[in-house]
Every structure is written in structure tokens, then in C-alpha cells.
Amino acid sequence: MSGSPPEDSRGKAFAGGKVLDIDGHNLPPSPAPSTPRNGRKYNLMTELVYTESTDQYNASSVPIYQSATFKQDSASGGGQEYDYTRSGNPTRTHLERHLAKIMNANRALAVSSGMGALDVITRLLRPGDEVVTGDDLYGGTNRLLKYLSTHGGIVVHHVDTTNPETVQAAVNNKTAMVLLETPTNPLIKIVDISTIAAAAHAANPTAVVAVDNTMLSPMLLNPLDLGADIVYESGTKYLSGHHDLMAGVIAINDTALGEKLFFTINASGCGLSPFDSWLLLRGVKTLGVRMEKQQANAMRVATFLESHGFKVRYPGLKSHPQYDLHWSMARGAGAVLAFETGDVHVSERIVESARLWAISVSFGCVNSLISMPCRMSHASIDEKTRRERNMPEDIIRLCVGIEDADDLVDDLSRALVQAGAVNITTDGFRALGSGNTVGDASSSESS
Ligand SMILES: Cc1ncc(COP(=O)(O)O)c(C=O)c1O
Ligand SMILES: N[C@@H](CCSC[C@H](N)C(=O)O)C(=O)O
């Protein structure tokens, strides 16, 4: 599906050419797709901040076109780029072109939330279609898929996506979509995008492979380069980085697929607002520096926990069972990690003892968060299903921010001790039930 050359659909609309939607109707003029994906001039850290001004006054920060409608030159209903902000807005177009560039895509589309992005994508499905997806998925994704299987006539197969053969076995000629997350949320399992995309396309060439890249962001992973047809992510997380907006982003290479997705966005009215487009563009510019610091802090925290005997899930650690696979695809480990304590009440006490780490859902923000996924972000997955999918109730998720690493480790260390999560001796502490006591409870630099 991927790899079609870029095409300016706006040109077709203006030339009076017919661009038809999936049901055979004329499409409204859509804002021009981005410049070609290989049109990057600089390295990613530079491209994140570099945009060519499209403003008549050469404004350094793109203006917020806070206008719902645009005056037209004539009554003929054509001949200009924008008519109504639901269909297109200059601030949103500027953002979308910037996102397409950094997501290695021909086109990017900005919508009102990550779930809004998935909703748009799943409207490609028709009753009777099948979806193959993971058994460890963000709770909201699971909820939307469950809704579609209950009310939309879609058959959803949840399989172990860490095993490409299992995915391949689940794909058949009714499979319209393969939906992947890597690392998975919250168990931090790694999924081999290239192998699965190749196997899915071989088994059914019309199947669309969609990857949720929220956990890593385009800073660390480009699923389109690995054979995915669609990449989407919650812009609420790393892309914006400050938890001050909700946004979703979809990126594609295939022109026709892009038009279908744009049609749904315009028809359903979920395009990102001008103000949030501006905020997201501002956030993206610091994605590189934020991610570098967040990853360094996450590695420090993961190493600290592991050295004190906790079972830590983080692809930056060599102990991660899919370490090599992760690094064969990605440029970094991200800043979300999870660990278990063996006791749900101990986990609860750790979370509630933390002070610097805010008890909060979400991730990708500049400040550090701590949560219990089974009770918070993934509570919409019922307990029986969580058990069937081996989601440990005691799992704690840490979403690491840009604070001073010593402060983060010290606060966590204090919370572990206060919660009674560790055995303390004169020479240090170690996770309950994990063997010898090592480390020094009073120092973040221990072991
Ligand atoms: C992996 C993942 N995908 C998608 C979403 C949905 O994003 P949003 O909250 O912006 O709707 C979230 C979190 O909410 C998420 O964690
Ligand atoms: N109440 C919300 C929970 C949002 S979870 C946000 C984020 N994806 C995370 O993983 O923390 C809901 O029901 O969707």
C-alpha cells in the first residue's frame, strides 16, 4: 500500500478534476499534502525546529488563524485554498506539513485526540471485516475495538503480537487491518513491525497495517519506513510534551488512503483546532531535547530499580527479552517503564508515597508520572480479560520527565522504603523476595 508518489489533490480539485470519496461523492478541496517525504534538508533534530515561513509578514511563529470561515472571491465555490476550518485551516496545514516531514510521510493529518485518530482509521472498516491486534494494548484502544466488535460487525482477534507467526496465522482474506503498538502499553513488549507488515501484506495485500507510535514518537521510530501503511499517535503525549492539549496525528504515504482519511475527518469534524495546532507545533520543536533528557532519566531510574532487585520492563535495559529486536527498529528506548512488586497493596503504597512523581495517567510530559495501569489507564479492560492477558495487577508504570535525575531517584527510593517494598539492612535495601540485600537506601547512586 505504501510508497506511492506524492500528488497534489488540491490541484485536481481546483482543475475541476473529480476526486471521489469512498462512496463516489466529490471530495471538498483538501489542504495540499506535504512536500515529498524525502524532501528533508537537515537531520531530524534540526528539522524538528526548522520550518519555512508561509506567512505574509514572515512571522517566526506561525499565526493562529482563529477563524471558522474564510471569505470567498466569487459565488462559484472554488478557487481558494480555505473555505471553512473544519475542512482546512492555515495553522493546521502548517502543522500537518511539519508533521509529515518529521514522520517520514507524504501526508499527515491532525485531529482532536489520539482516540479520534484511531476512530478515523477504523472507519476504513466495513461490517464483516476482521482486525488482528495485540493482547496488550492501551485501554482506550481496546475499548474502541470492543465497541466496534459489539456494535459495528467487526471481528477483532487479540493475539500475541510479539510472535509474528501468531499474527500471520490470524490473518486471512477478511483481514482488513492489522493494528500494532510497540512498545506495548503497559507491558512494554516489543513488536516486530517489518516482519508482521510483510507477512500481513503477503497473506492479504489489501490489509492495512496501522501502528500506534505514541510510546516512541517520530524522534525514535518511523513505522512507515518499516512497512506500515498508517502510523498514528496521540499528540497529547511526547509530540506536545506539556499535557496542555489533546491531539492525534495520522501519517500516510499512500495518496488515496490519505484522501479517504481526510474525507472522514472533514465529514465527522474532528480536525485539530487552530489554537491546539499552534500549541502542538510549538511542542514538536522541543521534542528532540525533551526526549533526550527523558530517556537519559528513564535509563537512570530503570537501572536503579533493577539493581535493587525489581523486575523492570524497559527496552533500554539489556535484560529486556526483546532488547535486540527493539534496537533493530528504534533509535532510543523512550521514557516509559514498568515494574512489579509482587503485591498490589505494596504497589499502591509506593504510588501514594511518591511526592515528585505525580499520580496521573498519560505520559510524554516534561514532568514525571507514576500510575497503576490496571486501576487507571487500563481500567476499562475488565479484570477477567486483564487476567487472561497476563496483566499483573501490581504493575507500576513510570513515565519519566526532564527533572533532575537525582531528585527522581531519591523520591522513588524514599517511596519504596516508606511503602515497605524493600528489605532494609545496615548496608542497603533490596526488593522484597528478591534475594540478597544490596544498595544503600540513603543514596541514589547506590549499586
Ligand atoms: C498508546 C496510546 N495510544 C493512543 C492513546 C489515545 O490518545 P488520546 O488520549 O490523545 O486520545 C493513548 C492514551 O490516551 C495511548 O497511550
Ligand atoms: N479515563 C481515561 C484514561 C486515559 S489513559 C491515558 C493514557 N493513554 C495512558 O496510557 O495513561 C480513559 O478512560 O480513556
pLDDT digits (tens, 9 = 90+) for 2-59: 333 233 332 222 222 334 444 544 444 454 444 445 467 899 999 999 988 778 899 9
**Ligand 2 contact via 377 beta carbon (within 6 Å):** yes
Same domain, 270 and 358: no
Please state the atom number of ligand 1 nearest to the C-alpha of residue 215.
1
In a domain, 443, yes or no: no
What average pLDDT does this structure show over 89-118?
97
State the CATH number of the domain containing residue 91.
Answer: 3.40.640.10
> Which one is catalytic: 97, 123, 237, 397?
237
**Ligand 2 contact via 138 beta carbon (within 6 Å):** yes
Same domain, 246 and 348: no
The 10s digit of each residue's pLDDT in 126-165 is 999 999 999 999 999 999 999 999 999 999 999 999 999 9
The 10s digit of each residue's pLDDT in 325-377 is 999 999 999 999 999 999 999 999 999 999 999 999 999 999 999 999 999 99
> Which one is catalytic: 136, 212, 229, 411?
212
Task: Name the domain boundary from 267, 285, 303.
Answer: 285
Q: What percent of the chain has pLDDT over 70?
A: 88
CB 396 within 8 A of CB 370: yes
Per-residue model confidence (pLDDT) at position 254: 97
Task: Name the domain boundary from 285, 317, 333.
Answer: 285
> What's the CA gap between 135 and 96, in Å, rounded?
31
Is the pLDDT at 414 greater than 60, yes or no?
yes
The residue nearest atom 7 of ligand 2, judged by CA position, is 362
The residue nearest atom 9 of ligand 1, judged by CA position, is 114
The residue nearest atom 14 of ligand 2, judged by CA position, is 140
> What's the CA gap between 393 and 379, in Å, rounded?
10
Average pLDDT over all residues of the chain: 89
436 alpha carbon – ligand 1 mean position (Å): 39
Residue 237 is among the residues annotated as catalytic for this protein = yes
Per-residue model confidence (pLDDT) at position 78: 75
In a domain, 2, yes or no: no
Same domain, 129 and 231: yes
The residue nearest atom 11 of ligand 2, judged by CA position, is 362
The 10s digit of each residue's pLDDT in 383-399 is 999 999 999 999 999 99
DSSP bridge pairs for 312: 339
Nearest-ligand number for the alpha carbon of 140: 2
What average pLDDT does this structure show over 254-264?
97
pLDDT band at residue 435 using 50, 70 and 90 as cut-offs? low
> Helix or strand or coil: residue 69?
strand
**Ligand 2 contact via 185 beta carbon (within 6 Å):** yes
Same domain, 119 and 180: yes
In a domain, 4, yes or no: no
Q: What percent of the chain has pLDDT over 90?
A: 81
Is the pLDDT at 438 greater than 90, yes or no?
no
The 10s digit of each residue's pLDDT in 163-213 is 999 999 999 999 999 999 999 999 999 999 999 999 999 999 999 999 999
> What's the CA gap between 380 and 400, in Å, rounded?
24
In a domain, 116, yes or no: yes
Same domain, 322 and 271: no
Per-residue model confidence (pLDDT) at position 433: 72
Q: Please report, to the nearest 10 degrees, the dihedral formed by the alpha carbons of residues 104, 110, 111, 116 taken in order.
A: 0
Window from 72-81, 240-249, 259-268 with minimum mean pLDDT: 72-81
Residue with cell 537525582: 406
> Which one is catalytic: 10, 12, 86, 285?
86
Same domain, 51 and 30: yes
Residue 138 is among the residues annotated as catalytic for this protein = yes
State the CATH number of the domain containing residue 352.
Answer: 3.90.1150.10
pLDDT band at residue 443 using 50, 70 and 90 as cut-offs? very low
118 alpha carbon – ligand 1 mean position (Å): 9
Is the pLDDT at 215 greater than 50, yes or no?
yes
Of these ranges, 21-35, 100-114, 419-433, the one predicted with the greatest mean pLDDT is: 100-114
User: Which residue among 237, 245, 280, 363 is best mutated to probe the pocket of ligand 1, counting the most ligand atoms within 8 A of its Cβ?
Assistant: 237
Strand ordering across the sheet containing 358-359: 311-313, 336-340, 396-399, 369-371, 358-359
Please state the atom number of ligand 2 nearest to the C-alpha of residue 115.
14
CB 105 within 8 A of CB 225: no
By residue range, what is the domain housing residue 361?
Answer: 288-431
- CA 216 to mean position of chain CA atoms: 7
